[in-house]
Structure 1
Amino acid sequence: MQGNMMFQPLLISNLIVHAARYHGDTAIISKNTDGTITTTNWTHVAENSKRFANALADLGAVHADRIATIAWNNHRHLEAWYAISGSGMVCHTINPRLFPEQLIFIINDAQDKVVLFDKTFLPLIRAVKAHTPTVEHFICLSAFDQEVVDALPDVKFYDALIADHSAQFEWPSFDENTASSLCYTSGTTGNPKGALYSHRSTILHTYAICLPDSLNLSANHVMLPVVPMFHVNAWGTPYAAAMVGCTFVLPGPGLDGASLVQMIDDYDVTVALGVPTIWQGLLSAAKQCGSKLATLKRNVVGGSACPPAMMKAFRDLYDCETIHAWGMTEMSPLGTSNQLKAKHHKLSADEQLNVRLSQGRPPFGVDLRITDEENGTHEVVRDGHSTGNLQVKGHWIIESYYGKPNNALTTDGWFDTGDIASINEDGYLLLSDRAKDLIKSGGEWISSVELENIAMSHPEIAMAAVIAATHPKWDERPVVIAIKQQGSDVTEEDILNYYADKIAKWQIPDKVIFVDSIPLTGTGKMLKKDLRDQYGSVLLEN
């Protein structure tokens, strides 16, 4: 016997319809590539998404076509997102920070029919255009620009397209399991792989991230997604913002600390999301200009582990709650979020901080387990100490990669993340490291993340990465690659001594190398592979 309830497919178009109908006058604030600000609202975004849906149809785009975007977080990108997925096409967000060879591979692998781009990326478009035969149209997300025409004569302009088309458009209804968007992994080793999300998985993920025990979003918030829309759909925030109808502040290309401080202060931002390297720049800029970040009540940190010193800085200097979150492209991306349980409110502030340092608990819709071998099925005890291979399953977790029919799961249906972790009795996940970044010294494992957190807590260190360097006796030993704070004269001996009372003696790094910069991926994560290539033999050389 079935229930007597209505059935409506879970479609992304429902989100923009809801936002326009119930939150139509709520502001969307967007920084353009030229630095100007455009203020619009959910009604206008919904109307323009329909205009662009009509424009895409006129250009010959049809259901299931892949439409690529190479763009910053701005209002035009947001409108195009809803037009593409709402029409039944696949919104393929591309990370512009990848190598041109990877971009060409991604566009050809997806067989993109249309590419939308911000003017910033015009040189990139010119470089890949001749190598992407499936692309029929290039659309610049701007008004007419003669400089763009001179460089790309057959280009079309977004503003002209929507001006020429009506806002009368009926969002089609189709199976909720239809593909909605496509994101590729960062591809630090080998070619990137595509994760193809469905409307159903996206809507369920959106519900989950809005929950109080996840990112805790509502119509009362002013949200600033510093995480780019080309990084796992800005962690799903453009969908969540429409679902709850909050004010949405889109920073465009201005991701430096000073620009973000100004956006937060000018537009009363209450919640912001980004990777640790972004927040380092923000904290430095706020200190330099004297901003109190008065309205910022919560920042969400993901992409890599948040250093404890950073959490303390937000808490003690700005009365801002830091939410540690974890996920992957293959997970849409949310896997866990660190919100306290009721019993934790009885703890002191420092005791609560210790809880906050883990990656948190999964929302309903995600399950976690730790196994004693990669792709294995035997689960280890949840005691907060026993580590193993982290595996996940759930409603928005990948089953197979785009264009690859082979199942990406274990024999009993779990996805192995490649992370080493533990889970405690309350379900809190603590990542030890990526399996490939663990350091095995004399048969014992050392976590690079733990050593990085200690280095980052030193007041004269701006950024630090820890890598495994080959050692003639111990196989591997940790080496710190660090950037000093401006004006610092801290020495290698100072940093090694700093470890002395914070970790077992045999885990103290063998060497500290000071550098001017640390290579980052397109999503702000440290490229440890490049560091290992450069410094992995430094202990042998000495």
Structure 2
Amino acid sequence: MHMRMGRDAEPPRPAPWTWLVPPAAHHRRYADGDAWLGRTVGMLARDWAERLPDADIFLGDPAGTTYASLAADAEALAAGLHAIGLRAGDVVAFQMPNWIEAAIVNVAAALGGFVVNPIVSIYRDAEVRQMLADCGARIFFHAEQYRGYDFAAMVERIRPDLPALDHAIPVRAGSAFADLIAAGRGQAHRLPSVDPRSVKMVLYTSGTTGRPKGVLHSHDTLARAVLACARHWRIEAGDAILMPSPVTHVSGYSNGLELPFLVGTRTVLMESWDATAALALIEQHEVRGTVAATPFLTELATRVAEAGTALPSLRFFACGGAAVPPEVVQRANAQFGRTVAFRVFGSSEVPLVTLGFPHDAARAAQTDGAVIDYDVRVLDDQGVPLPPGAEGEIVARGAAMFMGYADEAQTAEAVDADGFFHTGDIGTVAADGTLCITGRKKDLIIRGGENISAKEIEDVLHRHPAVADIAVVAMPHPRLGEGVCAFVVPRGEAPTFAEVAAFVAQSGLAPQKRPERIEIVDDLPRTASGKVRKDVLRRTIAELVNGQG
């Protein structure tokens, strides 16, 4: 554990997004209307604590958390953070599973005007170091040990490279987290007034360049996205929502940590996914819905069939994050006996552009849903809008869209003069607003709903002495949708699969970024301009995998 008390005498460290003056340029068209709620979850947590102090809010980890107890802990933590020197705009990072402590940290940040930086638990030294450094995190809450991995040791390794990080505090180990809360009891009067238009979160997402991008959202933009989902999916106060998706991912964060304060739902936290446990939790708490990746849907549907139940309480299962084959949705809905599962489309930058068809079996499986609460265009390669039904790049804008990236240059690259975010995904939009994704321009591998940058892995493997050239592409994976395949042009004797996997592991990248298969080739297919034809490589490995080659 690392703590240094106070910094009142120190000059404030500028955040990397000081260039941004809310509202963002592409949001100004919404600034004079009623597009935004104008309240933070900190404000809302206080309201709920006054109105329904004894109502349960987070279930499963542990049961019995109420609005009053959570609001009290969050206020105390916010005051405790203020006491050790954090001020509005400072970054509070956290990396932990779906634990109640994440909810406390999140509400505390909203109360104190701090910016949260959620980091998914699968990330290791390289990613965590880069993210904490890029956003200038002042404090890092983390699991000490989880699933056999020593996060405390990781913090010790990366701490010397993070001069802005004043405090690193483990949760569920030792007393530091509890002590910080205890120190803030009765000190909530010191907390500042928080502007709902200000930066609330910086969430890193991997792009095709291999450099993580810090996605910035305000309190208002995220609330807009969550409330649109609640309306479309008919979520009501008191509904129980199962959350197996990481609360450090935009889907789990929005629907697990934010929804209870915006709508009054109860979140059933799952520390790790298990279909049998999920089925039991759905039945126990009469769960109304969930948002999760394709493998979760497939496994839950299989367990439903084995158990001989149709889960009558379940009304929706929004599925996205990777390509969702129509047959997966059809098979799941057949097991449920009604249309529960449907496809959705969105990203951290534009949370849920489409919200699916929860009551239309055919369109729930065959499309990615109708466009809700966004303006969407389909552009050709020259940026010219295409007519309904034509295939091109999907671009979107709306009041729920992100404020920009932490790096202003990345924002300028991704958001055009008309305020549209260029998703990099290829698809069509019908005259009725129904969207279908057909491919993507971005060179990403979407493994179990998590974006993996091929270039990031390639950059590591280019350093291997036995690798002359390398191309990493997605390959079909029976459970996770896509896996990682490396096409290797050897330098001398070809490296073995074990050597390649070990080399990536030693780089500090997360385990899911290690190649699951390598193909040794004499050369890589290229265009006339010298670019690697990854479309050819993806087709090649798909044929090999499907043919069991």
Superposition TM-score, scaled by structure 2 size: 0.70
Amino acid across the alignment from 1:165: G
Residue 344 of structure 2: SS of its match in structure 1?
strand
Question: Cα distance 1:125–1:287, how it changes in 2: closer, same or farther (>3 A)?
Answer: farther
1:21 aligned to which of 39, 50, 66: 50
Residue 261 of structure 1: SS of its match in structure 2?
helix
| Structure 1 residues 396-435: aligned runs within 5 Å | 396-398=400-402, 400-405=404-409, 407=412, 408-435=414-441
Question: Cα distance 1:24–1:180, how it changes in 2: closer, same or farther (>3 A)?
Answer: same
Q: 1:179 aligned to 2:199?
A: yes
CA contact (8 A) 1:45 1:75 kept: no
Residue 92 of structure 1: SS of its match in structure 2?
strand
Question: Cα distance 1:130–1:168, how it changes in 2: closer, same or farther (>3 A)?
Answer: closer
CA contact (8 A) 2:344 2:356 kept: yes
1:336 aligned to which of 354, 360, 364: 354
Q: 1:362 aligned to 2:371?
A: yes
Question: Partners of 1:299 and 1:219 in 2: how far apart?
Answer: 18
**What is the root-mean-square deviation of aligned Cα atoms in Å?**
3.7
User: Following TM superposition, by how much is the alpha carbon of 1:404 offset from its aligned partner in structure 2, in angstroms?
Assistant: 3.0
Instruction: Give the aligned partner of residue 178 of structure 2.
Output: 159
Residue 160 of structure 1: SS of its match in structure 2?
helix
Q: Deviations over 1:213-257 (max 9, x none)?
A: 2x33211411112221111162511222211111221112x2122
1:136 aligned to which of 163, 166, 173: 166
User: Following TM superposition, by how much is the alpha carbon of 1:65 offset from its aligned partner in structure 2, in angstroms?
Assistant: 0.5
| Structure 1 residues 303-314: aligned runs within 5 Å | 303-314=321-332
Question: Partners of 2:87 and 2:68 in 1: how far apart?
Answer: 25
Question: Cα distance 1:260–1:127, how it changes in 2: closer, same or farther (>3 A)?
Answer: farther
Q: 1:326 aligned to 2:330?
A: no
Question: Partners of 1:60 and 1:482 in 2: how far apart?
Answer: 47
Question: Partners of 2:289 and 2:53 in 1: how far apart?
Answer: 21
Superposition TM-score, scaled by structure 1 size: 0.71
Q: Deviations over 1:126-174 (max 9, x none)?
A: 44333322211112222x53xxxxxxxxxx6222322343155255324
Residue 217 of structure 1: SS of its match in structure 2?
coil
2:98 aligned to which of 73, 78, 86: 73
Instruction: Give the aligned partner of residue 265 of structure 1.
Output: 283
Amino acid across the alignment from 2:258: Y
Residue 425 of structure 1: SS of its match in structure 2?
coil
Residue 158 of structure 1: SS of its match in structure 2?
helix
Q: Which has the higher contact order (CA 8 A, sep 6+)?
A: 2
1:63 aligned to which of 84, 88, 110: 88
Residue 401 of structure 2: SS of its match in structure 1?
coil
Question: Cα distance 1:23–1:306, how it changes in 2: closer, same or farther (>3 A)?
Answer: farther
1:210 aligned to which of 230, 235, 247: 230
Residue 169 of structure 2: SS of its match in structure 1?
strand
Amino acid across the alignment from 1:205: A
Instruction: Give the aligned partner of residue 119 of structure 2.
Output: 94
Question: Cα distance 1:531–1:80, how it changes in 2: closer, same or farther (>3 A)?
Answer: same
Question: Partners of 2:479 and 2:89 in 1: how far apart?
Answer: 49
CA contact (8 A) 1:251 1:263 kept: no
CA contact (8 A) 1:392 1:416 kept: yes
Q: Deviations over 1:68-100 (max 9, x none)?
A: 000122221101101012211101101232342
Amino acid across the alignment from 2:404: S
Q: 1:302 aligned to 2:320?
A: yes
Instruction: Give the aligned partner of residue 293 of structure 1.
Output: 311
The farther-off stretch of 73-82 and 406-415 is: 406-415
Question: Partners of 2:122 and 2:58 in 1: how far apart?
Answer: 25
Question: Partners of 1:372 and 1:310 in 2: how far apart?
Answer: 31
Question: Partners of 1:122 and 1:288 in 2: how far apart?
Answer: 40
CA contact (8 A) 1:422 1:429 kept: yes
Question: Partners of 1:250 and 1:21 in 2: how far apart?
Answer: 24
Question: Partners of 1:294 and 1:102 in 2: how far apart?
Answer: 41
Question: Cα distance 1:189–1:262, how it changes in 2: closer, same or farther (>3 A)?
Answer: farther
- Percent of matched pairs sharing the same residue: 21
CA contact (8 A) 1:102 1:191 kept: no
Q: Deviations over 1:356-405 (max 9, x none)?
A: 431112322x11110111xx43111113xx20011111113235310334
Instruction: Give the aligned partner of residue 9 of structure 2.
Output: none
User: Following TM superposition, by how much is the alpha carbon of 1:177 offset from its aligned partner in structure 2, in angstroms?
Assistant: 2.3
Question: Partners of 1:24 and 1:356 in 2: how far apart?
Answer: 41
Question: Partners of 2:478 and 2:199 in 1: how far apart?
Answer: 43
User: Following TM superposition, by how much is the alpha carbon of 1:338 offset from its aligned partner in structure 2, in angstroms?
Assistant: 1.3
Q: 1:225 aligned to 2:234?
A: no
Question: Partners of 1:136 and 1:285 in 2: how far apart?
Answer: 46
Question: Partners of 1:115 and 1:189 in 2: how far apart?
Answer: 26
Instruction: Give the aligned partner of residue 526 of structure 2.
Output: none
Question: Cα distance 1:483–1:359, how it changes in 2: closer, same or farther (>3 A)?
Answer: closer
CA contact (8 A) 1:23 1:245 kept: no
Q: Structure 2: which 5+ runs fail to align?
A: 1-31, 448-453, 455-472, 481-503, 505-509, 521-536
Question: Cα distance 1:217–1:163, how it changes in 2: closer, same or farther (>3 A)?
Answer: same
Question: Cα distance 1:437–1:168, how it changes in 2: closer, same or farther (>3 A)?
Answer: closer
Instruction: Give the aligned partner of residue 525 of structure 2.
Output: none
Question: Cα distance 1:528–1:424, how it changes in 2: closer, same or farther (>3 A)?
Answer: farther
Q: Deviations over 1:283-315 (max 9, x none)?
A: 344445555434322211121232223322332
Instruction: Give the aligned partner of residue 152 of structure 1.
Output: none
User: Following TM superposition, by how much is the alpha carbon of 1:21 offset from its aligned partner in structure 2, in angstroms?
Assistant: 3.1
Question: Cα distance 1:19–1:323, how it changes in 2: closer, same or farther (>3 A)?
Answer: farther
Q: Structure 1: which 5+ runs fail to align?
A: 146-155, 439-447, 453-466, 468-477, 486-518
Question: Partners of 1:80 and 1:175 in 2: how far apart?
Answer: 18
Residue 10 of structure 1: SS of its match in structure 2?
coil
CA contact (8 A) 2:329 2:364 kept: no
CA contact (8 A) 2:380 2:386 kept: yes
Question: Cα distance 1:312–1:25, how it changes in 2: closer, same or farther (>3 A)?
Answer: farther
CA contact (8 A) 1:26 1:245 kept: no
Question: Cα distance 1:161–1:527, how it changes in 2: closer, same or farther (>3 A)?
Answer: closer
